[in-house]
Structures are given as C-alpha cells and as structure tokens.
Amino acid sequence: VAMAATRSVMRAVRVFEFGGPEVLKLQSDVLVPVPKENQVLIKVHACGVNPVETYIRSGTYARKPALPYTPGSDVAGVIESVGEHVTAFKKGDRVFTLETVSGGYAEYAVAAANRVFPLPDKLDFRQGAAIGVPYFTAYRALFQKGCAKAGESVLVHGASGGVGLAACQIARACGLKVLGTAGTEEGMNVILRNGAHQAFNHRDPNYTERIKACTGPGGVDIIIEMLSNVNLDADLQLLSCAGRVMVVGCRGRIEINPRDTMSKESSIIGVSLFLATEEERHECATAVLDGIEAGWLKPVVGLEYPLEKVAKAHEDIICSSGARGKMVLLL
C-alpha cells in the first residue's frame, strides 16, 4: 500500500558511458527504486556534488561503477518508505546520507539504513547535503589517520571547499591552531569565518614563505592536502618534525624528493573514506552529530544548481576559480 502512494517513475541523472560532463543525462522515466531489507527510500531535496564524482564519471578513477549508473552519495531529504528490519527510521523523518545504493542525483534514492543519519531541525536540506562526505572525510583525515591532538597546528591546503571548511571547523573545535589557504579574497574570508586563525592566498607566489613566517622554525604538524599533485613537494618543506601530510585530493602525478621526509621523519598518508571500517564510520558519525548539537558544525553551502544543470556543476567544481563551500544540486 505504501508504494502505491509513491510515483513509479522519477527524474534521475544517468551515466551510460564514461567521459566528460556531457555524459550526464537527465532522464524523466527512471523507475523509483524499492528499498530492500535494511534499506530506506528517501525523497531527495538536495544532493551534494563532490570532486570524486567527476573522477568516477570520467572513467579514470580506481573504482568504476557498472554502467549505467546514477552518481551522488550525499543526499538530504525525507524518508519515503523503509525496507524490512528498519527500526531506526520511519516515513517523514528528515535525514542525510553518507552514501546511497541507487545514486543521489535523483528525485528518490535508496540507501542502507546504517549510512543514514537524522538531520536536526536546525539545519536545512541544503546544509544536510553538505555533511556526509566532507565532514566524515575531514574527521578521518584529522583524527583517524592524522592522529591530530589539541595544541597542534594544522594547515588546510585548499580550505574553502566542502572538505576544507569541514576540516577548519572540526580542527578549531578540537583545539588545534588552524591555518588555511584559498584562491580568492572571498574564499579567504569564508575560511576565517569558519575556524581558521589565519588565511593565505595560494595564488600569491610567496604564500609558502608567509606560512613559514607564521609557523616559525617548528613548521606545521599536519597538512590536510586537497591538491597533492601540485602542492606535495612544497608541503614537505612546511612540516614540523614528525609532521604528516594527509592526502585527501589528487589530480595527477608529482615529483618529490623522499629525502625531505627523512630529514624530519615526516609521513605522507593517503585518506580514503571508502576504506573506513564500520567502527570508524560510527566514530565519524558520533563526532559529526555531536558537532551539530554543540553548534560548531555548520555546513557552508556554495553554488547551487537544479538537476538540469548537473553537467555545469561537474564542470565548475573542477574548473572554477575558487570554492566557497559545498556545491549542491537542488531538487
């Protein structure tokens, strides 16, 4: 009976071949998925757009979904129906997800119940779509992989996007000294409003010298790196003894001198939310929900696009002059 109330077809973005943004096809006759056991069906109000979704779409990423597929993992919306054995949610609940089974660039999405979390009333759906991947990734990079401690310093290299702002907010709330870089004046202002003690413009040719002047001879303890193919060599010069670079984003190759890691016993550590264990995801979720409750976790929403403009969103997230928060699709 519950399913009869739901329309049987929906609008959804489908990818039939890997390639540029033009392979994202909006279709209006996609079947609404049905939740299986331990799954929920969500009526999507907003869906986050992440850089990794552009890499997957291009076919150059390590993980290749079976074609055709619908991209998107961070949705926020309302529970439409639940599958068997789901007790944590009911129809009408406001929720956000960490990932979806059927794809988030759609009017309805199925997700595993253990990847779905309650969306508190103090956040709107646009903000809900900006939580999952950015905040879980930032928390994992800082604490689960980076072993950050209060009193340490962190440089968020590329701080004005979704993960960067999440890292600034989390690090500040947890007692770290937070430095951030952005590519525009506006981006620098955004990161200063969201936890950074100091901001630097990474388009300024001398910006690494300014960071060194700020951190002194000790260097910076942790670098959260969004564009390691450009910055990794310079990052190694900025680190403290036993400092670590957390590689969150990369778009190609780079040459480094491994001797730079020996002189400081520094580490280069890759971060992949995809590899998190159930326990680690649970730890991330607890930290995130506590942060929302405490009031310091406030997702910053950047550019917003209707579903029809999804190709433009994929173009802009890679080519735009500087991020200002999390990019979202609105439904």
The residue from 274, 291, 309 where one domain ends is 274
Domain that holds residue 152: 134-274
Taking CA 17 as the corner, what is the angle to CA 315 and CA 309, rounded to the nearest 5 degrees?
35
Q: For position 305, what pLDDT does the model report? A: 98
Q: What's 264's domain CATH number? A: 3.40.50.720
Q: For position 320, what pLDDT does the model report? A: 78
Confidence of residue 129 (pLDDT cuts 50, 70, 90): very high
Percent of the chain past pLDDT 90, that is, above it, reads 95
- Measured between alpha carbons, how far is 46 from 304 in angstroms, rounded to an integer? 9
Q: For position 6, what pLDDT does the model report? A: 56
Q: Which residue has the tokens 């999804």?
A: 310
Do 140 and 95 belong together in one domain? no
Percent of the chain past pLDDT 70, that is, above it, reads 98
In this predicted model, what pLDDT tens digit does every residue of 7-39 receive, in sequence order? 699 999 999 999 999 999 999 999 999 999 999
In this predicted model, what pLDDT tens digit does every residue of 74-88 receive, in sequence order? 999 999 999 999 999
In this predicted model, what pLDDT tens digit does every residue of 218-256 receive, in sequence order? 999 999 999 999 999 999 999 999 999 999 999 999 999
Do 126 and 180 belong together in one domain? no
- Residue 1 pLDDT greater than 70, yes or no: no
Q: What are phi and psi of 157, to 5 degrees?
A: -90, 100
Distances in Å between the Cα of 152 and the Cα atoms of 20, 75, 211, 231, 252 are 41, 33, 15, 21, 30
- Measured between alpha carbons, how far is 295 from 329 in angstroms, rounded to an integer? 25
Do 115 and 138 belong together in one domain? no
Do 201 and 321 belong together in one domain? no
Do 195 and 248 belong together in one domain? yes
Do 15 and 110 belong together in one domain? yes
Q: What's 306's domain CATH number? A: 3.90.180.10
Do 257 and 172 belong together in one domain? yes
- Measured between alpha carbons, how far is 227 from 221 in angstroms, rounded to an integer? 18
Per the structure, the count of domains in the chain is 2
Do 100 and 174 belong together in one domain? no
Do 100 and 156 belong together in one domain? no
Do 258 and 162 belong together in one domain? yes
Do 264 and 145 belong together in one domain? yes
- Measured between alpha carbons, how far is 139 from 126 in angstroms, rounded to an integer? 20
